[in-house]
């Protein structure tokens, strides 16, 4: 088990390095002069030139990349002489839009996205997996057909449609919930739950539908395996066959999907955050993109990608813990 984890971690470090290079190149691939973007309408060529030097944008690409990476790990100092300013680690630069530290923007946004993603995740796993199991248990009967029918509808509805529908009816027309106004769960739990409820449900509908179908097909496939027949031949009660022998094997592939889907959402649920005005990573990224705020764009991309890569590692380790056949490879 241990060599397996070490190997996975090495692969992860390699992927992270590759990823940082791609993200960095993204910054430089924009068909605009980054230095020009650092000041607004009252820009003069002198200010642009000065900013270029201050931000190190006049340096060769390799130097810029190394400075950027060093900034993330040990912090960096912009400018030289008397006009310097320190950016402590992890330094992701300053927003072109309002001059704020990107690290602060990101750290403010992460909890919001995290609450959204994890809440939705718990909801959809609970609903999706249990209804998938029920459907598989009653394969071909009305329960199965009902669950599959509903899930097909859920799966076909785009998030922006469901989200807007909720917004219009639940909040605007029926006034069942106040207008979304995000508050930290530690400061105002009631407002937090009132704000998060609809986004959770919106996201969970889509994923629950998908997971119900996935769980059903996995369970049906597993129930047809030879070792399930063996378990029955031993004289085990059907309940034990299902819980002990079928569930564990059937749900293993779902761990992979679940880990990656959760990671994807942690990088920002753009549409949902936008519809319900949640100040998460997705909204931050959209705002940054519309305003050419390059340091913020690269930072959000980097953070989202790190989530996915780390989740991949966690999934691999979990998989090995569940399936002994993986451990030796």
Partner 1 sequence: MTNSNVILEVKNLNVEFTTDDGIVHAVNNVSYTVERGKTLAIVGESGSGKSVSSLAVMGLLTGANSKITGEVFFNGKELIAADPEEVRKLRGDEMAMIFQDPLSALHPYYTIGDQLAEAVRVHHDIPEAQALARAAEMLTKVGIPDVEQRIDEYPHQLSGGMRQRVMIAMALINGPELLIADEPTTALDVTVQAQILDLLRELQKEFGTAIVLITHDLGVVADLADEVLVMYGGSAVEHAPVREIFYSPQMPYTWGLLASIPQISEKKEQLDPIPGSPPSLLNLPKGCVFAPRCTFKDQVADHACADSFPELLVVSPNHEARCHLTEAQRNTIRAERKIGKVN
Contact positions vs partner 1 (CB under 8 A): 140, 225-227, 229-237, 245, 248-249, 322-325, 328
In the complex, least distance from residue 245 CB atom to partner 1, rounded to whole angstroms = 6
Nearer to partner 1, 208 or 246 (CB): 246
**Distance between CA atoms of 63 and 88, rounded to whole angstroms?**
19
**Distance between CA atoms of 272 and 208, rounded to whole angstroms?**
16
Residues contacting residue 307 through CB under 8 Å, at least 6 positions apart:
263, 264, 266, 267
**Distance between CA atoms of 200 and 218, rounded to whole angstroms?**
25
Q: Which two tokens stand for residue 276?
A: 């319900």
In the complex, least distance from residue 236 CB atom to partner 1, rounded to whole angstroms = 6
In the complex, least distance from residue 1 CB atom to partner 1, rounded to whole angstroms = 13
Nearer to partner 1, 70 or 229 (CB): 229
In the complex, least distance from residue 246 CB atom to partner 1, rounded to whole angstroms = 10
Nearer to partner 1, 236 or 289 (CB): 236
Nearer to partner 1, 249 or 304 (CB): 249
Nearer to partner 1, 157 or 247 (CB): 247
Of the candidates 230, 273, 1, 242, the one whose C-alpha atom is nearest the C-alpha of residue 115 is 273
For the residues of 172-234, what is the DSSP string, one character each?
IIS--SPPP----TTT-HHHHHHHHHHHHHHHHHHHHHHHHHHHHHHHHHHHTSHHHHHHHHT
Q: Which two tokens stand for residue 294?
A: 């390059």
In the complex, least distance from residue 235 CB atom to partner 1, rounded to whole angstroms = 3
In the complex, least distance from residue 229 CB atom to partner 1, rounded to whole angstroms = 6
Nearer to partner 1, 97 or 245 (CB): 245
């Amino acid at each position: 088990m241990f060599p397996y984890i070490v190997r996975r971690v090495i692969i992860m470090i390699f992927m992270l390095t590759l990823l940082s290079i791609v993200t960095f190149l993204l910054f430089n691939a924009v068909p605009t002069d980054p230095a020009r973007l650092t000041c607004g309408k009252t820009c003069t060529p002198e200010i642009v030139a000065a900013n270029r030097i201050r931000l190190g944008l006049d340096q060769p690409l390799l130097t810029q990349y190394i400075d950027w990476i060093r900034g993330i790990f040990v912090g960096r100092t912009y400018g030289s002489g008397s006009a310097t300013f320190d950016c402590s680690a992890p330094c992701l630069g300053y927003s072109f839009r309002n001059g704020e530290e990107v690290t602060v923007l990101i750290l403010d946004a992460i909890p919001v996205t995290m609450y959204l993603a994890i809440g939705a995740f718990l909801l959809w796993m609970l609903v999706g997996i249990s209804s998938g199991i029920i459907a598989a248990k009653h394969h071909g009967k009305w329960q199965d057909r009902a669950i599959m029918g509903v899930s097909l509808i859920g799966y076909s509805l785009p998030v922006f449609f469901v989200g807007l529908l909720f917004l219009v009816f639940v909040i605007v027309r029926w006034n069942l919930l106040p207008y979304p106004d995000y508050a930290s769960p530690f400061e105002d739990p009631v407002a937090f739950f009132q704000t998060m409820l609809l986004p959770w449900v919106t996201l969970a509908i889509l994923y629950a539908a998908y997971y119900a179908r996935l769980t059903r097909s996995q369970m049906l496939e597993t129930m047809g395996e030879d070792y399930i027949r063996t378990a029955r031949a031993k004289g085990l009660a059907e309940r034990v066959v299902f819980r002990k022998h079928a569930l564990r094997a059937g749900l293993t592939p779902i761990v992979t999907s679940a880990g990656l889907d959760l990671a994807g959402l942690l990088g920002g649920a753009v549409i949902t955050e936008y519809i319900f005005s949640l100040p998460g990573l997705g909204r931050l990224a959209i705002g940054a993109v519309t305003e050419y705020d390059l340091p913020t764009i690269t930072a959000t991309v980097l953070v989202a990608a790190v989530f996915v890569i780390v989740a991949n590692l966690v999934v691999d380790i979990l998989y090995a813990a569940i399936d002994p056949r993986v451990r030796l490879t």
